[in-house]
Amino acid sequence: MRIAQVAPLYESCPPQLYGGTERVVSYLTEQLVRQGHAVTLFASGDSKTKATLQAPCARALRLDTQCRDPLPYHFIALHRLAQRADEFDIIHFHTDYLHFPLFVRHWGKTLTTLHSRLDLPDLPPMLREFAMMPLVSISNAQRMPVPWANWHGTVYHGLPSNLYAGGCGDGGYLAYAQSSGVSALIKPACSVLANCSPTIGSDWQS
């Protein structure tokens, strides 16, 4: 199949540092290429991929000290993609709802994974206005604020099975990973873990 993957431009794919969404997009893109699909990745120019890369900016915007407004580059990417929409069988967006107005007439070939929180009060009007757009959640719990939205499935964020090797369980510690975004409740989560056992410590970085 001819597939377009559309990543945010804040980080490269895969990210050099932090970048949860871009990392997931990278894993997905490379696996689709390995399966024999013709994949075009819309991402920053410093991305590393075996897909065909289409880059509206030279480097990840968060790391570009010259970038003051990231939106123009996202709109450039979406405009270029809209001009080529007929070339793709599936267009998979990871850019929240930014593309909805441009791609509403192509809704039948689009898929939008919503990677962020959905409990914001301004979101329901957008999802109702563009109710035809097919959506994917990253967990069933994520859907709870808007269960009526046009959900087509849940695909959990994951890591390649060969990325880490499990220990035998005698290390005396518990590893816990969580997003460190603004909305993440890291300190309460670490406190809960620390209270589970006196042998479990907690630490975090923002």
pLDDT digits (tens, 9 = 90+) for 115-128: 999 999 999 999 99
What integer is the mean pLDDT of 173-195? 63
Quote the DSSP letter at residue 158: -
Q: Give yes or no: residues 179 and 149 share one domain.
A: no
CA distance 88 to 11: 24
What integer is the mean pLDDT of 144-149? 97
- Residue 168: pLDDT band by 50, 70, 90 thresholds? confident
Half-sphere exposure for 168 (CA within 13 Å, toward CB): 1
Q: Give yes or no: residues 94 and 178 share one domain.
A: no
Q: Give yes or no: residues 146 and 179 share one domain.
A: no
pTM: 0.85
105, 78, 140, 163 alpha-carbon torsion, rounded to 10°: 140
CA distance 151 to 169: 38
The whole domain housing 202 covers 165-206
Block residue for tokens 């510690």? 173
Half-sphere exposure for 71 (CA within 13 Å, toward CB): 4
Counting the structural domains of the chain, the total is: 2
| pLDDT in the model for residue 84 | 96
The reply to whether 160 falls in a domain is: no
Q: Which residues contact 5 (CB under 8 A, 6 or more apart)?
A: 25, 28, 29, 32, 39, 40, 41, 42, 43, 51, 92, 94
| pLDDT in the model for residue 59 | 94
